[in-house]
Structure 1
Amino acid sequence: MTAPLDIEGPAAPPRSNGELVFAEPWESRAFGMAVTLCEANVFTWPQFQAALIARIARWESAPTEDAHWSYYHHWLGALEDVLDGGGSVSAVEVTTRARTLGQRPIGYDHDHRH
């Protein structure tokens, strides 16, 4: 099963000439994680879409001066929401793990000798 990606509407991913657009590597990884977990039946695509639409709607209803638009920040937040809501992983676990990873030195996972 492949996740049906909306071509239009608030949950539609950014595209250019019909191709998905990712500004940063983490965006494509977040996209891939959501699709893979959906295909593994961790959650349904409608559940994910609803979470994404809700995230975007919250941002639109309460924008702040320092809040810039980032589709994939909302995507990642929606992924956290469905995983937390389904009991797969809690939001606290995600935050703790992200904080731990963020404290590692740059290049920690990469061997620069090759």
Structure 2
Amino acid sequence: MTAPLAVDGPAAPPRANGELLFTAPWESRAFGMAVALYEAGAFAWPDFQQALITRIAAWEAAPEGGWSYYTHWLGALEDVLALSDDVGARAAALAGRAPGHDHDTGNGHGHGH
């Protein structure tokens, strides 16, 4: 499964000569993280695209700071993950763990302290 990237429109990533354009290393990492999470089934791509369009529209309505497509991309990723039941359940499980048991060994008992 590959992420169906928009070629044009507000959700389309920046391109130069048809290739994706990243101006800083974190942008390519944010891009790759979103695609990998989508491919793992963490969210539906149309939901991500809508979250991205919403983020961009909000910025256009009240521009704050300079333009950064990937800042909006990362914000949209946070938005769709916040809506994911899996992420919410995992966050709640981690929040309920006793202090000092941050690393799960797979047996549900932390790392044996």
- Counterpart of 2:11? 11
Give the equivalent residue in structure 1 for 2:72.
74
Distance 1:69 1:13 in 2: 13
Q: Which residue of 2 aligns with 1:58?
A: 58
Give the ranges of 4+ consecutive aligned residues of structure 1 lying more than 4 Å apart after TM superposition.
Answer: none
AA matched with 2:73: W
The correspondence for 1:84, drawn from 82, 85, 102, is 82
Number of residue pairs aligned between Structure 1 and Structure 2: 89
Shift of 1:63: 1.6
**TM-score if structure 1 supplies the norm length?**
0.74
Q: What TM-score, normalized to structure 2?
A: 0.75
- % identical equivalent positions: 68
Gaps of 5+ in 2: 90-113
Gaps of 5+ in 1: 91-114
CA distance in 2, matches of 1:89, 1:8: 32
Residue 97 of structure 2 is matched in structure 1 by none
